[in-house]
Structure 1
Amino acid sequence: MSAPETGRLDRLDEPYRKKKPLLEVEGLTAGYGAAPVLHDVCLTVRPGEIVAVLGANGAGKTTLLRTLSGLVRADGGRIAFDGEDLRKVRVEQMVRLGIAHVPEGRGVVTELTVDENLRLGGLWRRDRADATRALSEVYDLFPALAQRRASAGHQLSGGERQMLALGRALIGRPRLLLLDEPSLGLAPRITAQILALLRDLRERTGLAVLLVEQNVRSALAIADEGIVLSLGRVVTRNSAADLRDDADLRHAYLGF
């Protein structure tokens, strides 16, 4: 795979801009116990759109993804996926709606083989034939996994584990991918491959991605829009190109 090219919001045509949002978040407040982390967060993600969530450590990025996927209870606000209230949906039903969450740390079952890990992603699917096709497609996307399908998770490199976690999520054919720090601990070459794959999937399948990524330059290179969090609040939302060009904002919140 080649390195990702610059992605600009203005490359999108007017019909795309008018698409109904797939994910709508309004006034979201959430945290752990009595300690609020997110404050009045608002965002939207449309089909085929990559939105990067940026900010310093402790800004609330991971908490945002965990709240959207139901792992953290929202204390207030609205979360809607394709018009359905996610606050009323059980965590185990999220994947059936078309939402896949790949958490930081990758979440691979290290005792299972690559093939067994991938098949876990399709256990809930009733269309067994399509689940089998999806498995084959993931092996096509990640040839390294195909070569190691009988290897246990603990035998994989960090890059292979990230590919495995992403591949397992894709088995369910999600419409929205919540992806947390995919480049953490990986070599730049592997990071570039994974981010380029996200861009390709978006173009080919219309997959929407909400991406939390520590490598700000790489995230903005493939994103259409960026949202900057600081202390749990959205301080700005703009096109990826405009965020890259705003030197004052980059220095204040993004560290470059």
Structure 2
Amino acid sequence: MTATDALLRVRGLVAGYGAAPVLRSVDLTIAPGTIAAVLGANGAGKTTLLRTLTGLVRPTAGQIVLDGDDLRGVPVEQLVRRGMAHVPEGRGVVAELTVDENLRLGGLWRRDRADARRALDEVYDLFEPLARRRRHAGHQLSGGERQMLALGRALVGRPRLLLLDEPSLGLAPRVTAQIMALLRQLRDRDGLTVLLVEQNVRGALSVADQGVVMSLGRIAIATSAAGLRDDADLRHAYLGF
């Protein structure tokens, strides 16, 4: 893949907290309309990578380019307008607001109000449980429903690149399978590009196009998801199974 083919291109990214770097010269290229699964042990730098891409952690070196635009120095709130959405670990929703109010937060910045309403309707079509509970408060939802709500709020903004941090954490296997199937659907139907950080390695690789393994703040390997899934030596060496 050439640089011009990439939706997201990261080069030499260094970032961390205080004086200690967590990311150490990370290079990453993600093609449009694909799912890249970022895997690795706890502490490998996966969450820090997402937080740095979305401006929550400021890099000390390196380059982040989204669809040809250099994102260095771009304010966090402007990244959403440029097509990047981040769903952090923990299914963060506003507990006091209703499902409908939470979803509308995802589109408040949009000028095309008619399309924002269409996007809201599309989310209800995708997540039928949310449509049934649109007047319920966030704290009244199950864990799976809160994850759907967090995803739906991001989708209302019609992102080109969706960053997901551990969407299956704490969910039942059935709900996890539904989330993974939804990501595949959004890629295939809408051409959405997804950067997926996930501890459920088998589930992530079942829907991903690219497998990226991080170790000690670096990219240890980046290859096709099928290649990583089917190569026992690679799995044992990098993923421990």
Q: TM-score range by the shorter chain?
A: over 0.9
- Counterpart Cα distance in 2 of 1:128 and 1:83: 27
TM-score with structure 2 setting the length: 0.97
TM-score with structure 1 setting the length: 0.92
- Counterpart Cα distance in 1 of 2:208 and 2:148: 20
1:56–1:253 contact (8 Å) kept in structure 2: no
SS of match in other structure, 2:5: coil
- Counterpart Cα distance in 1 of 2:210 and 2:86: 19
1:100–1:174 contact (8 Å) kept in structure 2: yes
Structure 1 gap ranges (5+): 1-15
Alignment of 1:32-181 (within 5 A): 32-181=17-166
Q: Which residue of 2 aligns with 1:232?
A: 217
2:52–2:58 contact (8 Å) kept in structure 1: yes
SS of match in other structure, 2:60: strand
Instruction: Report the AA paired with residue 102 of structure 1.
Output: V
Q: CA RMSD in A?
A: 1.3
Q: Which residue of 2 aligns with 1:201?
A: 186
- Counterpart Cα distance in 1 of 2:141 and 2:163: 23
SS of match in other structure, 2:72: helix
- Counterpart Cα distance in 1 of 2:114 and 2:2: 35
Structure 2 gap ranges (5+): none
Aligned residues: 241
2:4–2:68 contact (8 Å) kept in structure 1: no
1:248 pairs with one of 213, 233, 236: 233
- Counterpart Cα distance in 1 of 2:3 and 2:215: 29
Change (3 A) 1:25 1:105: same
How far is 1:98 from its partner?
0.5
- Counterpart Cα distance in 1 of 2:106 and 2:113: 12
Q: Percent identity, aligned pairs only? A: 77
Task: Describe the superposition over 1:136-169 as per-residue Cα deviations: whole angstroms up to 9, x where unpaired.
Answer: 0000000000001011111110000000000000
* Greater length-normalized contact order (CA 8 Å, ≥ 6 residues apart): 1
